[in-house]
Structure 1
């Protein structure tokens, strides 16, 4: 397949790639459907614009397309957007791994900043825990590729993913939807809205209860009476929204949401048999072993308030404030055996508040988007790296634990402005900039105990915390007594510009060129074992050339060429000390960086009034610069295939029985590494096939859908751990804990589910 891609890349890139931003329309829209291409509105530049006039590489997936493909979770959106990785990470079912154009963040530990920003109604989600969002009351999802440093700020160096909920219609509405599927899937969603004051005040609500048995099982666990399902799902999500339309010009919205995920901790698949205990390679990639409880908890809750005021015909003002908090209690068995070779129970506790004031102005021949943004966040955590077997075997002690606790706190303020100026009737200039100032402080407590130490005791007989103290190793000595007693702090500031030219060739054709910059905040090492300094921010410089064109309202071709230079990449290594088996070295610093260039093409063809064909294609060529400070040479970008390809067909039928939409698609991801410093976890290229049939009654109240996903049952790695060394002769040298710990987590297997709903 890879050779085929190499021979035909030019043809694919120019003539056969097609967009996923326009796909099937829902049956309710089919009744009023007209021939030709759909008009799509997006808010990629923080104002409502036509997709075809926005000089940004953006994919928009609307409510109807999500429903017709049976998409219920945000990670499935990756197949619609080229050069995009959105996958469930290791350890839990709710932790997100996000990369766009080879830029992201793999390590989900507290204090590390993401490289792709996730937003719910313009509110930033700061942590990857819980970012695998289940879709409820969604209007559309926008994927913005490339750095968005001017309008969206820090930590969008790869791009941004925007989850946009549906506005209320003002009418009384109620919708109930149930789903039954593979692995005893049982989902129930209730949504609706009630006018409290006619044409003024509305209350919206939504609740989802999502349950599914595991794809596999834990063959061993710490407690016999524990649930041994692996890759199961037990999640509830709720939303309440109060909207007040004081006048035609003034709108307010108060929104609350809460998610609770009690699915089991996710167990990894041993790719190598254990050397220390009876743990052969399981028969199923979804089976695992563990010496820990299987319980896991992820809780998220948020409150936001927005005021939107159309002050004049030209000036609009918006204020958005939010408060969010999340908590995770997880048990991660790195070695995945019934022995305490490398067990990591952990807690994460995060909370943040944000405020943003936006001012948009439309003048004669120009427009301005501007704002002020403030963010205050606290991210804390606690984990115990338990190497009990090593302690008993090597030192004759009851166990061995490296405990790490700490907090990374951040205060950030920013001001931004971006203007589009008409130079002629066809040529316009976009120029913008953002200034950000951020201060961080951090503490880390790190110590060693010659016993097994757990955050909670009782489930391991005979193992107790005892009288153990762990000293602060990262911080400030305020009184000069040689003891760290306060956080360590550092601040950074950055000016991130954007400049571009857009030329409207005709009503249906726009070409653009742009330069933009983004930065990812500097940070302290949350695993520090010494009083080290902070890593510097990452900087991405990006150049894009693109064309967006509609051909006779039948064919849409959106093509973007891009090149980016990723400087001062923060790089983390976790290695055992060769001179002391009780020490786990973790180093955080900056390497020179990496370069990526590539192409993205999205094309839609409205073949007939009823048939639509879609394809998207992404290609990138990434290279990491040689850096003598890295002991182990980096071999490639992680979580970044050279090629992504999506093909889809959508056919609509209007019959006496109702409106049917038939949808089928193929999605291909080329080879990719899970870790940049090793090819031990290399996923070979694979493709998945999906098919759906959706239906709506003539009256529009009843609807349903049958969805078949991953029909060929492809197994692909989406996460893992590597604590072993692969030798030139193909053998392995044991790593931390003395075992061959090479672990992988996999995508969902083949599933089928049936959804039926009723609305009024």
Structure 2
């Protein structure tokens, strides 16, 4: 079945090119389509440009396209973006895990930083908690693939995701009301609107509530498992005192009270509740069912057009987050491996940009500053050892960077792009780790006051890192509609300190770990053809990954050993093609195919017995790096009952992939395909919209994460986390 799906997806992409050639002679010229790369405007280079002119691999999805396909949150990007992994983290409902072209970071613990940068209106979001953003009040979402070391810099070794919210309507007041009901008693409510206070001042806001019963049940406590209880809101004020001056003050907040996701035991253990539940969404966890994640932020954007050439821009932002969560790693009523945890973080960022544009030169230069602290504490309650390992700490980060990106029109068709960034990071880390007698909460998380029986780690260290990350590209307009490019870019992710580090088992942990870098080479071709029936973007890339940071935890005598090592190096190469094809005046095909080949060249692992590093590159693979990914969808547009009807069936495909660097046949995910169908009708006045969305219609069971704590000491706790089952949702929207 999966082989058939992959073949169909590849054939669909090829069909997109061949069918357009066959139809080009008889097809009438059509008006410009908003989905072509000529018309899509993106800000991948911090300035508005047509997608065709940007020498970067960018997938851009408009609000209309996301609504048409029934995308509810940004994890939907995974289905339509080649070589991308965008999904909910293990154990939570709103923590984001992202990989692009096999590069990312799945550890959400404080102090660890993602390898794919997330930006909300050009504000960098440093922490993954609360970052599974629900899609509302947006203009578009951009996915920038490959290192973005010059313009975005900080921790974008894999790429960047840009969540761009809607600007307020400058004229008439607006109000949109939306309600949805679906499977598992899903109830979603949204209200958003804006109004003009004066000719120069506008205010707007949106509030959304997302509620759903669990896909499964905690068979031990009776609580919902894999439920959803999220309240999100956004308020903005836009002030334009003159034609060339603009200010925007925005505030957003997300509160997630969904129950913790304890996972599903994939292998039977010993004792009551240690069997394998019949449903992959069920658990026997005994730790509890309380979870709360709150994130919020405020930003002020100021832009002044000094003249026809120069524009200056300032982006000032503050964000904070708090998490109180529970993860029962053994998934049994007993506290064999229970982990309650709290996280807290805050960040202040300031960015100044100077943008300029002349007939032959366009570009931006600026400075970026970040001051942030990420902290937390967690317990590892280990009943079989009769102890709890309490861990707490913080990482303070100060980062400053200078950057520039310039495009030179060497001729009317030949363009040279040059970019550079110099970053300095100063970090201070504190790690405390100790054993306490009794398999109950430690004093760090409100347990009974008692002195530790063994101090494992207690240090405070500081370190500084700096990196120069250049970028260069050469693009050529083969015609007004076809552009080719070749580029080189370097990505950088800062070093740091292992918040789980155990100085007894791994003494070198007190030294921290060093930065990692990626050198990326890419050639691409994008544009439109055949009277703009075919719109496409394609790329071939090669990456060299150096000093790669890898996080693993393994059972050890007296505890769990954590490793955050610069394990060595790996190499990637691959190809991507995506686009759309207008088959008839009413039928459009959208397609995306990604190919990725990845391999470790060196993987140094600390041997707890010999206390030496060994190269085990022949035993490991890159995690979250499926060889093939694909998407194929058809959208039929027609007039029904006087209104506009859009019908979109689609299928997405992901090849086999490993959850960790160490393959595990019990936990790794086989290839799978997801089949969706959406039907959206809009009335003639464009005020009423009715939608019906079916997701995962074949009810595929697929893992999106896992934990591996094999062995008798932890009751063979091999735990899987699963994506949503088949769901059907109906929605009704009215615009005033």
How would you bin the TM-score normalised by the shorter chain?
over 0.9
Counterpart-to-counterpart distance in 1, 2:725 and 2:734:
29
Q: 1:17 to 1:349 in 2, by over 3 A?
A: farther
What does the per-residue CA deviation read over 1:691-737, in whole Å, with 9 as the maximum and x for residues that have no partner? 1111111111111100001000001000110111xxxxxxxxx25x3
Counterpart-to-counterpart distance in 1, 2:548 and 2:178:
45
1:428 equivalent in alignment to 2:415:
yes
Contact persistence 2:16–2:580 (CA under 8 A): no
Q: How does 1:559-598 map to 2 (within 5 A)?
A: 559-577=538-556, 580=557, 582-598=558-574
The residue aligned with 2:668 is: 682
Counterpart-to-counterpart distance in 2, 1:7 and 1:694:
29
Counterpart-to-counterpart distance in 1, 2:638 and 2:105:
44
1:242 equivalent in alignment to 2:237:
yes
TM-score by length of 2: 0.93
The residue aligned with 2:610 is: none
Q: How does 1:723-734 map to 2 (within 5 A)?
A: 723-724=709-710, 734=711
The residue aligned with 1:23 is: none
1:341 equivalent in alignment to 2:336:
yes
The residue aligned with 2:584 is: 608
TM-aligned CA deviation for residue 342 of structure 1: 0.2
TM-aligned CA deviation for residue 589 of structure 1: 1.7
1:381 pairs with one of 376, 383, 386: 376
Contact persistence 1:177–1:757 (CA under 8 A): yes
Counterpart-to-counterpart distance in 2, 1:692 and 1:33:
25
Contact persistence 1:702–1:758 (CA under 8 A): yes
Q: How does 1:139-154 map to 2 (within 5 A)?
A: 139-154=139-154
Contact persistence 2:633–2:651 (CA under 8 A): yes
The residue aligned with 1:316 is: 311
TM-aligned CA deviation for residue 609 of structure 1: 2.1
What does the per-residue CA deviation read over 1:188-221, in whole Å, with 9 as the maximum and x for residues that have no partner? 10000021112x1011011011100000000113
The residue aligned with 1:443 is: 430
TM-aligned CA deviation for residue 14 of structure 1: 6.3
Q: How does 1:524-543 map to 2 (within 5 A)?
A: 524-530=497-503, 532-543=510-521
The residue aligned with 1:466 is: 449
TM-aligned CA deviation for residue 678 of structure 1: 2.6
The residue aligned with 2:192 is: 191
1:751 equivalent in alignment to 2:727:
yes
Counterpart-to-counterpart distance in 2, 1:77 and 1:10:
19
Q: 1:37 to 1:525 in 2, by over 3 A?
A: closer
Of 139-148 and 675-684, the range deviating more from structure 2: 675-684
Counterpart-to-counterpart distance in 1, 2:548 and 2:314:
34
TM-aligned CA deviation for residue 571 of structure 1: 1.9
The residue aligned with 1:24 is: none
TM-aligned CA deviation for residue 5 of structure 1: 9.0
What does the per-residue CA deviation read over 1:394-425, in whole Å, with 9 as the maximum and x for residues that have no partner? xxxxx310000000110000010111111122
TM-aligned CA deviation for residue 145 of structure 1: 0.2
Q: How does 1:607-756 map to 2 (within 5 A)?
A: 607-629=583-605, 634-680=619-665, 681-724=667-710, 734=711, 737-756=713-732
1:556 equivalent in alignment to 2:535:
yes
TM-aligned CA deviation for residue 374 of structure 1: 0.1
Contact persistence 1:13–1:599 (CA under 8 A): no
Contact persistence 2:568–2:604 (CA under 8 A): no
The residue aligned with 1:228 is: 223
SS in 2 for 1:114: coil
Contact persistence 1:371–1:416 (CA under 8 A): yes
Contact persistence 1:429–1:500 (CA under 8 A): yes
1:359 pairs with one of 354, 358, 371: 354
1:500 equivalent in alignment to 2:455:
no
Q: 1:34 to 1:157 in 2, by over 3 A?
A: closer
1:521 equivalent in alignment to 2:516:
no
SS in 1 for 2:67: helix
Counterpart-to-counterpart distance in 2, 1:156 and 1:670:
24
Report the RMSD for the aligned CA atoms in angstroms: 2.2
Counterpart-to-counterpart distance in 2, 1:37 and 1:137:
20
TM-aligned CA deviation for residue 529 of structure 1: 2.0
Unaligned segments of structure 2, at least 5 residues: 19-29, 504-508, 608-615
Contact persistence 1:452–1:465 (CA under 8 A): no
Q: How does 1:388-399 map to 2 (within 5 A)?
A: 388=383, 390-391=384-385, 399=386
The residue aligned with 1:125 is: 125
The residue aligned with 2:321 is: 326
Contact persistence 2:427–2:463 (CA under 8 A): yes
Contact persistence 1:85–1:98 (CA under 8 A): yes
Counterpart-to-counterpart distance in 2, 1:746 and 1:591:
29
Q: 1:589 to 1:664 in 2, by over 3 A?
A: same
Contact persistence 2:330–2:714 (CA under 8 A): no
Contact persistence 2:390–2:442 (CA under 8 A): no
What does the per-residue CA deviation read over 1:552-581, in whole Å, with 9 as the maximum and x for residues that have no partner? 21112221000001110112232233xx3x
2:250 pairs with one of 255, 271, 276: 255
Counterpart-to-counterpart distance in 1, 2:499 and 2:727:
39
Contact persistence 1:17–1:616 (CA under 8 A): no
TM-aligned CA deviation for residue 470 of structure 1: 8.6
Counterpart-to-counterpart distance in 1, 2:604 and 2:686:
64
Contact persistence 2:570–2:602 (CA under 8 A): no
What does the per-residue CA deviation read over 1:570-628, in whole Å, with 9 as the maximum and x for residues that have no partner? 12232233xx3x23221222111211100000131111222111111000100012335
Contact persistence 1:443–1:474 (CA under 8 A): no
TM-aligned CA deviation for residue 464 of structure 1: 4.7
SS in 1 for 2:547: strand
Q: 1:5 to 1:757 in 2, by over 3 A?
A: closer
Counterpart-to-counterpart distance in 1, 2:364 and 2:34:
32
Counterpart-to-counterpart distance in 1, 2:489 and 2:430:
34
Contact persistence 2:703–2:722 (CA under 8 A): yes
Q: 1:238 to 1:738 in 2, by over 3 A?
A: closer
Contact persistence 2:13–2:591 (CA under 8 A): no
2:283 pairs with one of 278, 288, 311: 288
Counterpart-to-counterpart distance in 2, 1:189 and 1:572:
39
SS in 2 for 1:210: strand
Counterpart-to-counterpart distance in 1, 2:689 and 2:562:
53
Contact persistence 1:36–1:554 (CA under 8 A): no
TM-score by length of 1: 0.90
What does the per-residue CA deviation read over 1:419-442, in whole Å, with 9 as the maximum and x for residues that have no partner? 111112211111110000000001
TM-aligned CA deviation for residue 72 of structure 1: 1.3
The residue aligned with 1:217 is: 217
SS in 1 for 2:585: coil
Counterpart-to-counterpart distance in 1, 2:16 and 2:391:
52
